[in-house]
Amino acid sequence: MKSIREISMNCYGNLNYYMLYLAYIMKKYNVVIEKNADEKEIRDNIFNQLDSRLKDEKEIKKVNFVHKIISQNLFLNVRQILTILNEFTIMEMQELVSENVYTRSAAVENDPLELCDAAISILNLKNSESVLEIGSNIGAFLIRSYLHNKNINLYAEEIHMESCLISEMRLDILEAKHNICNTNSLFENKQNKKFDRIYSYPPMLTRMTEEEISRFNQKSSFEAKTSTDTSWLFIDRVIRQLDKTGKAVVVVNDGALFNVKDKEVREHFVKNGYIESIISLPTNLLYSTGVKMSIIVLSHNNEKIKFIDARNQFNKSRRINQLKVDEIIEMYNEQEDDELITSINLETIRDNSYSLNVERYVGIEKIELINPIKLKNVVKDIFRGIQISATELDKIIIDIPQGSEYQLLTLGDINKGIIENDLNYISIPEKTRNIERYLLEDGDLIISAKGTNLKIATVQISNERIIASGNLLVIRPNKDKINPVYLKTFFDSKNGKKILESIQVGSVILSINPSQLKEIEISMPNTEKQEEIAKKYLAKIDLLKITRKKLIQLEKDIESIHDDEI
């Protein structure tokens, strides 16, 4: 591999592919380097020889592109690099391409090979099947698919012309038959046929313009909006190209699985039976982003959806996590449900607002509730606190209350289920906001809206005017139906926390959506039992407060021992 390192010192990124392809074409057509020629003469001579020998239009196009790129890199030592590469046989060049040891460009690093391998195993590629990749980048999936089964028919679409050419160059070196189109897959259908297997790893967290959405909707099976996650646009294109007996794999960001704005879109794909399985993947799979991702497996006529929690199926490396492909495929092929795998009927998914978040379903059925009832049936309201930016907050906090101010309850004011007494005072002109909407009442429950560390507290106030901040959710229990303190103890319980964690969603920061919180089920014992549990809880809280005061005093006594004794 000394030669490869030597090339890398003189070549970088995609130039590696161009030089390898040039060496391959030269060897294929018996083009040689003149020994005594200078750098310019070598360049001119190579391309003059190729110009007279090439007949295939696609090869001519690629060689002309390589010529253009080399011409723009005057400091590239073509003689030295090609001299090294000419030592390789065509078979050895194929090994360089297939093993991916030749280069680790940014494009490859953002198309993890383990993810390609997992998709290939799920698709189970068979002889003579037509395989399409939508958004093929520089061909990692195509190459891995060909190496898996050389008797398949490869097709691809890619919007970037240079990436298309690199894919073709790599597959040419492997001598694999292929049909790659340079096109925008969302608006054009140059591969006008149905396919047995499809893979797509679309760009994440991108937005479409009004004009683009209008153009997309002319052919789509649902009405997209500018706010629609683009993952669903690619999924729609995949479904339209997928044969009735086919299977597809699409990699999506997790936000597409649960965000409120895409509920109707998810409903469309769920109701039509297009979704076969969803696999929640580990974090930190890419060099460029920590966005949480999942695999959606698509096929036709599905009456259930299999949810698989594969978040822990990885090997930790220095910079990124690497998928345990065999373990994930074993989970996908498993027929029985367990703590990490569960099959859910479409009616249950409908009842959960068409959320496709894996954590929403996996393990939930094992929770045993007493007289289960939906939270929305025992509360008056659930709302998020007032949104105040840090800059604005600095302006409205006051040191000395004048009598007409409000107190602001933030996440930091909740400590082990107890709301601290020294809340900040803020001054907000009542005419400028609907302040009354955010005022807390005695018996309200407070839950942290964001973050992995759930905080829960019960509000106990008389005449104070306290407002919840935007990072808190407020649950207003109907005291005629449920004891607020009991409800707090339920959310503190193991089952309660598990239920709350199951509805936490987010690609980077976990959060709880009020609409999903309303739909959860809780245990509902009789009134006497609720009162009994609430009394025990309050007694323990009183004891905790007394113990804390004693602890604070003890710490002060320890700190002052020296001063008291001298």
Over the range 65-93, which residues count as b (16 or more CB within 10 Å of their CB) and which as e?
A: bbbebbeeeeebebbebbebbeebeeeeb
In what order do the strands lie in the sheet containing 242-253?
178-182, 153-158, 130-134, 195-200, 242-253, 293-298, 275-280, 304-309, 341-345
* C-beta neighbour count of 341 within 10 angstroms: 21
- The alpha carbon of residue 298 and the mean position of all alpha carbons in its chain are separated, in whole angstroms, by 17
Instruction: Report the C-alpha gap between 474 and 493 in whole angstroms.
Output: 19
202 in Cβ contact with 134 (< 8 Å): yes
CATH no. of 106-366? 3.40.50.150
Sign of CA dihedral 366, 367, 371, 377: negative
Instruction: Report the C-alpha gap between 128 and 83 in whole angstroms.
Output: 39
Q: Report which residue type is found at 487.
A: L
47 in Cβ contact with 39 (< 8 Å): no
> Which residues are registered as beta bridge partners of 408?
424, 467
Cα→Cα distances 463→85, 283, 325, Å: 82, 47, 59
Question: Exposed/middle/buried for 147, CB within 10 Å: 0-12, 13-18, 19+?
Answer: middle
Instruction: Report the C-alpha gap between 29 and 115 in whole angstroms.
Output: 36
Instruction: Report the C-alpha gap between 204 and 217 in whole angstroms.
Output: 20
For 527, the 3-state DSSP assignment is helix
pLDDT tens, per residue, the chain with 566 residues: 445 544 444 555 688 889 999 999 999 999 988 878 888 888 899 999 999 999 999 999 999 999 999 988 888 888 888 888 888 899 989 988 876 544 444 444 456 788 999 999 999 999 999 999 999 999 999 999 999 999 999 999 999 999 999 999 999 999 999 999 999 988 888 878 999 999 999 988 788 899 999 999 998 999 999 989 999 999 999 999 999 999 999 999 988 998 888 999 999 999 999 999 999 999 888 776 678 899 999 999 999 999 999 999 998 887 788 899 999 999 999 999 888 999 999 999 998 889 999 988 886 656 788 899 999 999 999 999 888 877 777 778 887 776 657 888 888 888 888 888 788 888 876 555 677 788 899 999 999 877 667 889 999 888 788 888 888 999 999 999 999 999 999 999 988 888 888 777 765 566 788 888 888 899 999 999 999 999 999 999 889 889 988 988 888 888 888 777 77
CATH no. of 373-528? 3.90.220.20
DSSP 165-229: HHHHHHHHHTT--EEEEES-TTT---S-S-EEEEEE-PPSS----HHHHHHHHTT-SS---TTS-
> Does pTM top 0.85 for this prediction?
no
Residue 387 tokens, joined: 């949104």
Residue 339 tokens, joined: 């703590």
263 in Cβ contact with 214 (< 8 Å): no
Q: Report which residue type is found at 125.
A: L
For the chain, give every domain's residue range: 2-99, 106-366, 373-528
Q: What angle do CA 409, 410, 415 make, to 5 degrees?
A: 95
- Within 13 Å of residue 399, how many CA atoms lie on the same side as its CB? 0
For 353, the 3-state DSSP assignment is coil
Distance linking the first and last C-alpha atoms of the chain: 75
270 in Cβ contact with 298 (< 8 Å): no
- The alpha carbon of residue 482 and the mean position of all alpha carbons in its chain are separated, in whole angstroms, by 38
In angstroms and rounded to an integer, the radius of gyration of the C-alpha atoms of the chain is: 31
204 in Cβ contact with 111 (< 8 Å): no
Q: Which is it for strands 456-458 and 304-309: parallel, antiparallel or unpaired?
A: unpaired
Q: What is the dihedral of CA 239, 240, 244, 250, to 10 degrees?
A: -20
Q: Which residue in 308, 309, 305 sits closest to 349, CA to CA?
A: 305
422 in Cβ contact with 407 (< 8 Å): no
Q: What angle do CA 147, 148, 150 make, to 5 degrees?
A: 65
* C-beta neighbour count of 215 within 10 angstroms: 16
Over the range 438-468, which residues count as b (16 or more CB within 10 Å of their CB) and which as e?
A: bbbeebbbbbbbbeeebbbbbbeeeeeebbb
Instruction: Report the C-alpha gap between 51 and 254 in whole angstroms.
Output: 50
